[in-house]
Amino acid sequence: MLPTIDLTGRTAVVTGAGSGIGRAIAHALAEAGAHVTVAERDPVTGESTAESIRSLGGSADFTACDVTDIPSIEAAIASAASRTGSIDILVNNAGIPGASAPIDEFQHDVWDAVLAVDLSGVFRVTREAVPHLVKSGRGAIVNIASTFGMFGAPENAAYAAAKAGVINLTKQNAVDLGPRGVRVNAVCPGYVDNDMARRGDRMSPEDAAARWATRNRLAALQPLGRQGQTSEIANVVRFLVSDMASFMTGSIVTVDGGCTATFNRGSEVQEAR
């Protein structure tokens, strides 16, 4: 009989789980038996994810968490740990793309905001959660980086730098935490179909439709020829946090339809991120 992924009895914290990839990860971990704390800055979407897990028979709660705000992180991690006294799984998923621009026109506030969420947020949440992950004795962290942290793309300075930072922070934390019994890996998604990309928040309907078309065109150039589904990222995260991946730490796992295997990534990636 094939072994299955069983997370029964484990407590997981997933940041930014109100939508998209984070929501799919929260569902995937709950399906495998984990209790999931949805750590999200948006209370409406955060509570919605927790409620949808519970409605399917899973175990989840919502805790407000802005990964740029230290008191908010402290409260969220304390709340998650209070259920069982430890945290077994942390998925650092919260992220924002920020507006694209040439480097000499790149807005300082965009740079600061993207680095604060996408890189410093990973550091701060990890820092707070580590004592609980060590206490667990089987702690596992997965950081959601991006293929955009692995190569340069036009006009994406902040996002590319932040995600590259997450990749090496993953390796660094794997080095520091391996001896303390905590595994740390990263997943780099390629183009993933999500609600935000479809809706094009803060965009005109025309711009949103154009960006969606560009994403599909660029995805079509890649080996699997399509965008990924959020569940296809979540499946890999569920594997990485499970005992099935017990000898994996410091690994950077691309889940990108072959994007990084090919030279042919297109030249307009900044429009599509």
The residues assigned a catalytic role are 159
CB nearer to ligand NAD: pick between 32 and 234: 234
**Does 15 help bind ligand NAD (rule: CB under 6 A)?**
yes
Q: Within positions 47 to 66, which residues make up the interface with ligand NAD, using CB under 6 A?
A: 65-66
| Smallest gap from residue 55 Cβ to ligand NAD (A) | 19
CB nearer to ligand NAD: pick between 59 and 231: 231
Q: Within positions 150 to 209, which residues make up the interface with ligand NAD, using CB under 6 A?
A: 189, 191-192, 194, 196
DSSP strands (E only) in the chain? 11-15, 35-40, 59-64, 89-92, 140-144, 183-189, 252-255
Residue 199: name the closest of 189, 209, 190, 188 by CA: 209
φ and ψ at 89, to 5 degrees?
A: -135, 135
| Smallest gap from residue 253 Cβ to ligand NAD (A) | 12
Q: Is the dihedral of CA 240, 122, 151, 225 positive or negative?
A: positive
Q: How far apart are the C-alpha atoms of 45 and 136, rounded to whole Å?
A: 29
| Smallest gap from residue 180 Cβ to ligand NAD (A) | 25
Give one word for 142, left, alpha or beta, with left for phi > 0 and alpha for psi -120 to 50: beta
Residue 132: name the closest of 67, 83, 92, 194 by CA: 83
Q: How far apart are the C-alpha atoms of 22 and 255, rounded to whole Å?
A: 15
- Determine which residue in the list 13, 14, 16, 26 makes contact with ligand NAD, applying CB under 6 A: 16
Q: Within positions 228 to 247, which residues make up the interface with ligand NAD, using CB under 6 A?
A: none
Strand 59-64 versus strand 89-92 pairing type: unpaired
Q: How far apart are the C-alpha atoms of 174 and 235, rounded to whole Å?
A: 21
| Smallest gap from residue 165 Cβ to ligand NAD (A) | 12
Q: Within positions 74 to 113, which residues make up the interface with ligand NAD, using CB under 6 A?
A: 93-96
User: Considering CB under 6 A, how many residues would be counted as binding ligand NAD?
Assistant: 27
- Determine which residue in the list 67, 91, 182, 218 makes contact with ligand NAD, applying CB under 6 A: 67
- Determine which residue in the list 11, 20, 86, 236 makes contact with ligand NAD, applying CB under 6 A: 20
Binding site for ligand NAD (CB under 6 A): 15-16, 18-22, 40-42, 45, 65-68, 93-96, 117, 144, 146, 189, 191-192, 194, 196
